[in-house]
Chain A
Amino acid sequence: MGFDTALFNLINGFAGQLPLLDSLMRLFVNDYFVPTALCLLAAALWFSGDGKEARGLNQRAVLSMLFAILLANVLVKLCNVVYFRPRPFSVQEVNLLFYRPSDSSLPSNAGAVGFAFAAVGWQRHRPLGVVMGVLAALFVFARVYCGVHYPLDVVAGGLVGVLSALLVSKARRLLDPLMAAVIAVGRRLYLA
């Protein structure tokens, strides 16, 4: 934990030094910018693909993202039940550029969701996975920079997200009938 705190102090130490960097980090840290971008990228994936077959694979990937996010949220809640880590601003002096969330610091929910998106995106479409991964990385880095998470929290959150994506991928055969039904309804509505 000592290394974790030291790394947090190093990153959070930059906060308040450069107004431009602070503004940029405040853009990435909030609950709206990155999640909106990730959701719109997923929506774009749903509609992309040349032909029904390629589009069907993309649509399965989007549904996998939804399942992975759901699973990541459940895993984070379960972790919170068994272990509570206070936020950095609760235990030490920090440069806080965000509001004070009251839930457990570890694992980072933002990291779990962001990397769940990115991991499924990577499995289906490498460039999309990279874009989503960069957005998720900026999201979690901004969380540390703005003083709401320790680095270990976001790493744990990222691992939860990637693990969720892998578990959903393993359970693909189980989930496939449900995915096929959703896509069939989408096709009937001309939206898949």
Chain B
Amino acid sequence: MEFHEQITIGYIFFGFAFLVSLGFWQILSASQGLRAFSLLPRGTDARWGYVLGSASMVLGAVWFFGTRTAEIFSPGPASSEFLFFLFLALLCTLLICIVFASMLGWITDSRRRRKRNPGSAVEALTAGRWNGELYLPTSEDAPWPVVCLVPGPDEGNTSMAGLGSELASRGVGALVMDSNRGDMWQYPDVLAVIPEAVAYLERRPDLDAGRLGLVGTGLGADLALRAAAADRQVGAVAALSPLLGPSGVQPGLDLLREMTYVEAIRWRRAQKGGDVVSSLAARKHIPQLGSRPLLVIQGERDRLASSVQRETLPEGAETKTVNGRGYLDLAQDGVVLSYTVDWLLKHL
């Protein structure tokens, strides 16, 4: 076989390997829940991933084996050359899937960020170590109880905006902190963030800081637990997916189950490689909460937060595992949202 004929079969085989690899990543993404490789929007039923993947594989196989018999049954690239083309196709399609999934994630996230509940009054606040948005009830029965909401780093204030808005609509003031602020997560300065926010809430006549709750997600939950342990004024704490240890912050495939590739890089950078979670040592400080109400909610599919055993928590603490939910989607889950609001209303 001439060299140019070998190159031709190489190209043709690459086309086959490309379609098959694309299908492979989609089936893998559906079966392993790898969000970072999926060409389908977040939240799409995994069955569609299998359908898309199988369709791509079948298309590649039918085209190659059905129409290229002359090239297939001629001596061509075999062994190492064949593996080179297959590896190249796997790599190319992986990059395509990662880039596409990241773009899709960015679009979905942008849409989510634009949504806001119009039913509550919102004040944008800026203070020494923190920024935030204060959601206030529109009812006339002020002073209202208040909850300070602490999202994890890089989540901004959008991940907890829904919870803040829901609390305001149920007669509770909610300060949603903006966790994107670069200097917020420096240890030990971060320990002063919640006390400063609480001091601000105490000064407001329309809020009753004597009925104060803290809610956090991820590293924000660790910070909320640590702050509540140090401040007896905090009446109730809800921790959604608290990290409680640096193991989930380590790089690896588990992150790609929860977020896109770009989000994973940003998320890990925001966590400062696990230094802050280790320094906060929230698990060690949980016993200091004593008999105060504590709610820990975790997603069944969460691969990042350390698991919390009920027996390691103080008496009176409540744990809840939400089926089918992972680390990132917990704070936006409707069931979690209403359960947390009900729980806070009961304990404040």
- Interface residues of chain A, those whose CB is within 8 Å of chain B, are 26-27, 30-33, 35-36, 39-40, 43-44, 47-48, 52, 55, 73, 98-102, 109, 113, 187-192
CA distance A73 to B82 in the complex (A): 14
B254 contacts A by Cβ under 8 Å: yes
B102 to chain A, nearest CB (A): 12
- Select which of A27, A36, A190 is within 8 A of B264 by beta carbon: A190
Q: How far is the CA of A31 from the CA of B73 in the complex (A)?
A: 9
Q: Are A190 and B65 in contact (CB under 8 A)?
A: no
**CB <8 Å contact, A43 and B24:** yes
Size category, B interface: 35 or more
Set of chain B residues within 8 Å of A191, measured between Cβ atoms: 253
Q: Are the C-beta atoms of A30 and B72 separated by less than 8 Å?
A: yes
Name the interface residues of B39-85: CB closer than 8 Å to any CB of A: 61, 64-65, 69, 72-79, 82-83
Residues of A within 8 A of B73 (CB): 26, 30, 98-99
Contacts of B191 in A (CB 8 A): none
Main secondary structure of the interface of A (DSSP, over half): helix
Q: Does B233 contact A (CB under 8 A)?
A: no
Chain B positions within 8 Å of A, measured between CB atoms, are 13, 16-17, 20-21, 24, 28, 32, 34, 36, 61, 64-65, 69, 72-79, 82-83, 86, 90, 250-256, 261, 264-265
Contact A39 B86 (CB under 8 A): yes
Q: What's the minimum C-beta distance from A101 to chain B, rounded to whole angstroms?
A: 7
CA distance A39 to B251 in the complex (A): 25
| Alpha-carbon gap, A191 to B34, bound state (A) | 11
Q: Enumerate 23 A-B pairs (CB-CB under 8 Å) in ascending A order.
A: A30-B72, A31-B72, A31-B77, A32-B13, A32-B16, A32-B64, A32-B82, A35-B82, A35-B83, A36-B86, A40-B20, A40-B24, A43-B90, A44-B28, A47-B28, A47-B34, A52-B254, A99-B75, A188-B251, A189-B251, A190-B36, A190-B253, A192-B253
Partner of B253 from the list A31, A33, A55, A109 (CB cut-off 8 Å) is A55
Instruction: Decide if A31 touches B82 in the complex (CB within 8 Å).
Output: yes
Look across to chain A and name the residue whose beta carbon is closest to the beta carbon of B60. Answer: A36
Give the chain A neighbours of B253 by CB distance below 8 A.
47, 55, 187, 190-192
Contact of B32 among A32, A47, A73, A98 (CB under 8 A): A47
How far apart sit A26 and B264, CA to CA, in the bound complex (Å)? Answer: 45
How far apart are the CA atoms of A113 and B82 in the complex, in Å? 13
A109: chain B residues within 8 A (beta carbon): 79
Q: Is the beta-carbon distance between B16 and A52 smaller than 8 angstroms?
A: no
The 7 closest A-B CB pairs, nearest first, are A31-B78, A187-B252, A30-B72, A40-B24, A99-B75, A187-B251, A99-B73
A192 cross-chain contacts in B, Cβ below 8 A:
252-253
Chain B contacts for A27, CB-based, 8 A: 65
Give Cα A190 to B78, complex, Å. 31
Contacts beyond the supplied A36-B20, A40-B21, A190-B264: 5 A-B pairs with Cβ under 8 Å: A30-B65, A40-B24, A47-B28, A99-B73, A190-B253
Are B83 and A39 touching (Cβ within 8 A)? yes
Q: If the complex has contacts A44-B28, A47-B32, A190-B264, are A33 and B254 also in contact, measured as CB distance less than 8 A?
A: no
Q: Quick check: B251 and A190 within 8 Å, CB to CB? A: yes
Of all chain A residues, the one with the shortest Cβ separation from B76 is: A31
B20 proximity list for chain A (CB < 8 A): 36, 40
Judge whether B17 and A36 touch: CB under 8 Å: yes
* Complex partner residue of B261 from A31, A33, A190, CB under 8 angstroms: A190
Cβ A52 vs Cβ B252 within 8 A: yes
Give CA–CA (A102, B36) in the complex, Å. 45
Set of chain B residues within 8 Å of A31, measured between Cβ atoms: 72, 76-78, 82
* Residues in B neighbouring A98, C-beta threshold 8 A: 73
> Which residues from chain B contact A43 at a C-beta distance below 8 Å?
24, 28, 90
Residue with the greatest number of chain B CB neighbours at <10 A, chosen from A31, A36, A100, A101: A36
Which residue of the partner chain B has the closest CB to A29?
Answer: B73
Closest to A76 in B: B79
CA distance A48 to B74 in the complex (A): 36
- A33, B79: Cβ atoms closer than 8 Å: no
CB distance from B246 to the nearest CB of A (A): 13
Chain B residues with Cβ below 8 Å from A99 are 73-75
User: Which residues of the other chain, A, contact B16 by a CB distance below 8 angstroms?
Assistant: 32, 36
Nearest neighbor of B23 in chain A, beta-carbon distance = A40
CB distance from A96 to the nearest CB of B (A): 10
Chain B nearest CB from A99 CB (Å) reads 5
Residues of B within 8 A of A30 (CB): 65, 72-73
A99 and B74 CA atoms in complex are apart in Å by: 6
A44 and B75 alpha carbons, distance in the complex (Å): 29
Known: A26-B73, A36-B20. A187 touches B78 (CB 8 A): no
